[in-house]
Amino acid sequence: MKWREKNKQKLAKPETRVIRVWPHDRVGEITMIALIFGLVGAKIFDTFENWDSFIKDPSSIFSASGLTFYGGLILAGIALWWFTRKHKIPFIHFVDVMGPVMMLAYGLGRIGCQVSGDGDWGIYNAAFKTTPAGAFYPQCRAISRQL
């Protein structure tokens, strides 16, 4: 029924129109490019950082863990630079607009690291008076035993 309805609205002779597309109309494309290339770059750079563990288990490249911020930033930056050149968007204006967005993204990412307990604190604090972090995270106990 939907196809039939569209077919009724079809013009007898197709016409060509020139439609102006503004940079803010491309936000969806920009977001998807940044997401895809950011994740791929983060995973590739993490693989290079942890080359020994990658050699031991090559299937780790498909795991959801192990992402490097700078890898995502570099590869997404290159992809977005290419996109802005292709669509004739001045890159300096694009970078100016993306500055606050990057600060927000990095800040939210750091909060996520703190909340997930991925080891931002590093060394176990023995002066901690309430329940120590080692009670919840066994890797913290292992680090404190090594000290």
pLDDT tens across 22-58, in order?
Answer: 888 999 999 999 999 999 999 999 899 888 888 998 8
- In this structure, the answer to whether residues 23 and 48 fall within a common structural domain is yes
pLDDT score, position 105: 84
What is the maximal distance between C-alpha atoms in the chain? Answer: 81
On the 0-12 / 13-18 / 19+ scale of CB atoms within 10 A, 11 is exposed
Q: Are residues 13 and 83 in the same domain?
A: yes
- Residue 31 vs residues 23, 42, 109, 123: alpha-carbon distances, Å: 13, 16, 17, 37
Together in a domain, 127 and 86 = no
What percent of the chain is modeled with pLDDT above 90?
A: 29
Residues 46-71 have a mean pLDDT of: 85
- The pTM is what? 0.64
pLDDT band, residue 114 (cuts 50/70/90)? confident
Is the domain of 101 the same as that of 127? no
pLDDT of residue 60 exceeding 70, the answer is: yes
Same domain, yes or no, for 112 and 127? no
144: containing domain: 123-147
Asked if pLDDT for residue 128 goes beyond 70, the answer is no
Instruction: State whether 130 and 69 are in the same domain.
Output: no
Residues 127 and 84 in one domain: no
Residue type at position 33: I
Q: Please indicate, yes or no, whether residues 111 and 129 belong to a single structural domain of this protein.
A: no
Specify whether 72 is located in the same domain as 132.
Answer: no
| 8 A C-beta contact, residue 32 and residue 69 | no
Q: Are residues 50 and 111 in the same domain?
A: yes
Higher per-residue confidence, 138 vs 104: 104
Number of domains the chain is built from: 2
Instruction: Clarify whether residues 88 and 137 are in a common domain.
Output: no
